[in-house]
């Protein structure tokens, strides 16, 4: 039986959202891991080719490694936040699966709640491979992982047409 969350607007209009479960969220995460890996691979190839083409690889020792480290940091920590804030709560993986993130009291997610939930993804990973995250999703009434609880966010099934 699907679970629902409702938000009452200041105009006293009730909006009901169907909550996404652990399976759809896990599938979206797998897609996002693929997209992040692809993004890092393409960035690495571009960096290597551009430095070779410019003949700068001899003069910029350590630069490709530093650029790779910066890209890895930005993709790992910024990918989810940027997409959730600027793309209606949807990363490419969430869009593929048909789910999105919202605030518990608003149909959108803002920067700080998105940042909070995604920084706490590391905690959800503990003690190994998202055991804490899956456990909290199963025992909370709104299928929220630890990051969602602290950020006051929900993951819903997106019923709007793209």
Is residue 108 within 8 Å of residue 89, measured between CB atoms?
yes
- Chain centroid to Cα 67, Å, comes to 23
* pLDDT, position 40: 87
* pLDDT, position 96: 96
* pLDDT, position 144: 92
- Give bridge partners of residue 106 from the DSSP assignment: 103
Say whether pLDDT at 78 is over 90.
Answer: yes
Specify the pTM.
Answer: 0.84
* pLDDT, position 161: 44
Residues written for the chain: 162
The domain ranges of the chain are 4-157
């Amino acid at each position: 039986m699907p679970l629902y969350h409702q938000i009452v607007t200041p105009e006293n209009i009730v909006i009901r959202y169907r909550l996404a479960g652990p399976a759809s969220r896990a599938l979206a995460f797998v897609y996002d891991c693929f997209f992040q890996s692809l993004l890092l691979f393409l960035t690495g190839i571009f960096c290597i080719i551009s430095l070779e083409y410019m003949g700068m690889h001899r003069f910029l020792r350590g630069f490709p490694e530093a650029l790779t480290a910066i890209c890895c940091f930005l993709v790992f920590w910024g990918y989810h936040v940027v997409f959730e804030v600027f793309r209606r709560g949807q990363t490419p993986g969430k869009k593929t699966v048909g789910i999105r993130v919202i605030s518990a009291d608003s149909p959108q997610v803002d920067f700080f709640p998105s940042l909070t939930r995604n920084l706490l993804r590391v905690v959800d990973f503990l003690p190994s491979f998202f055991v804490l995250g899956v456990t909290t999703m199963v025992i909370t009434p709104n299928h929220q992982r630890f990051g969602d609880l602290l950020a006051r966010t929900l993951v819903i099934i997106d019923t709007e047409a793209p």
